[in-house]
Amino acid sequence: MSWLSAKHLLCHHWMKSFLIILGIVGAFIADTLINQRSYYSSYKGIAIRPCPDKQRQSPIELQTTIQVDLTPLQYDYHSVPLTVVHNGNTIQVNYRFGSTLTLDEQLYTLEEVHFQAPSEHVVAGMPYAMEVQLVHRYGEHVVIVGVFVEVGEGNPVMQSIWDHMPATPGLKKTFDNVAIDAAQLLPDNLRAYYRYSGSWTEPPYSESVTWIIMRDPITLSITQLEQFIAVLGETARPVQPHHNRLILEAN
């Protein structure tokens, strides 16, 4: 075999080995991306798993409302030590027993506070920078109060949470020396809000939620928004089909 033929054969084998390795790496990357997309999609209900068999999914666009006379938001929140969890999707504050919300003469216990960026509910097609979600429960009945957040002045309650939020999914931390009062996450105007029947925005997307969305936003600074996104990224579930649901608007 001539030197030139040997060189040609060696190059051929090298190129074949390179293509095999490239194919393996490419398949691994593709599989990883598919798995990540599948996980995210199944978790947030987008594209792959939009829950087509359900008719009252959340969030929705708040449009075509019926204006009615409803009582102002009635709550009795207390300051509690901070317990914060990175649940794999967002930051969650666990609330100790004793803080309540009254709706339709029924008392609901505040259990959790979630944060979503951007806001999950939208108004006139536009989301806010963030949405705070205060989760209340009475038995199997759930009421979630959503509060829009726009960029403006800094929010001291959020800063206390951000300063202690875990960066690793699954971690839970309690700080007995840090007090959190959920009342400071509500707007001043408690009379103006939307109300509709919907679902959780996380699996299994159970349609057992009464949503109360406050019309007036609170604020956080652009630095605080960037701090949250740096850890969590964008967490909001996309807007779901409206299905001609009744949306009440209290003014």
Identify the DSSP state of 120.
S
pLDDT value of residue 100? 98
The label of the residue with tokens 């339709």 reads: 104
Q: What is the pTM of this model?
A: 0.80
Res 250: pLDDT: 95
Q: Which two tokens stand for residue 69?
A: 């006379």
Closest by CA to 50, choosing from 203, 210, 244, is: 203
- The length of the chain, given as a count of residues: 251
Task: Name the DSSP letter for residue 71.
Answer: P
Residue 50 confidence (pLDDT): 60
What is the phi-psi region of residue 167: left when phi exceeds 0, alpha when psi lies from -120 to 50, beta otherwise?
alpha
- Type of residue found at 117: A
Type and span of the H or E element at 211? strand 209-220
The three-state secondary structure class of 233 is coil
Using CA of residue 27, residue 32, residue 33, residue 35, what is the dihedral sign?
Answer: positive
Q: How many CA atoms lie within 13 A of 126 on its CB side?
A: 5
Token pair of 205 as six digits:
């997307």
What is the per-residue pLDDT for 64? 85
Whether residue 194 contacts residue 247, with contact meaning beta carbons closer than 8 Å, is answered with yes
- Return the pLDDT at 190: 97
Residue 54: the pLDDT is 80
pLDDT at position 55, please?
A: 86
Residue with tokens 């009615």: 68
- The 8-class DSSP code of residue 245 comes to -
Rg (CA), the chain: 24
Q: Given the DSSP bridges, would you call strands 100-103 and 106-116 parallel, antiparallel or unpaired?
A: antiparallel
Task: Report the candidate in 170, 200, 179, 209 with the shortest Cα–Cα distance to residue 45.
Answer: 200
Q: What is the pLDDT along the chain (251 residues), one digit of tens a residue?
A: 444 344 343 344 434 443 333 343 343 333 333 333 333 333 444 433 466 678 899 999 998 899 999 999 999 999 999 999 999 999 999 999 999 999 999 999 999 999 999 999 999 899 999 999 999 999 999 999 999 999 999 999 999 999 999 999 999 999 999 999 999 999 999 999 999 999 999 988 999 999 999 999 999 999 999 999 999 999 999 999 999 999 999 98
State which amino acid sits at residue 172: K
State the DSSP H helix or E strand holding residue 4, giving kind and residue range, or none if neither.
helix 3-44
What pLDDT sits at residue 52? 63
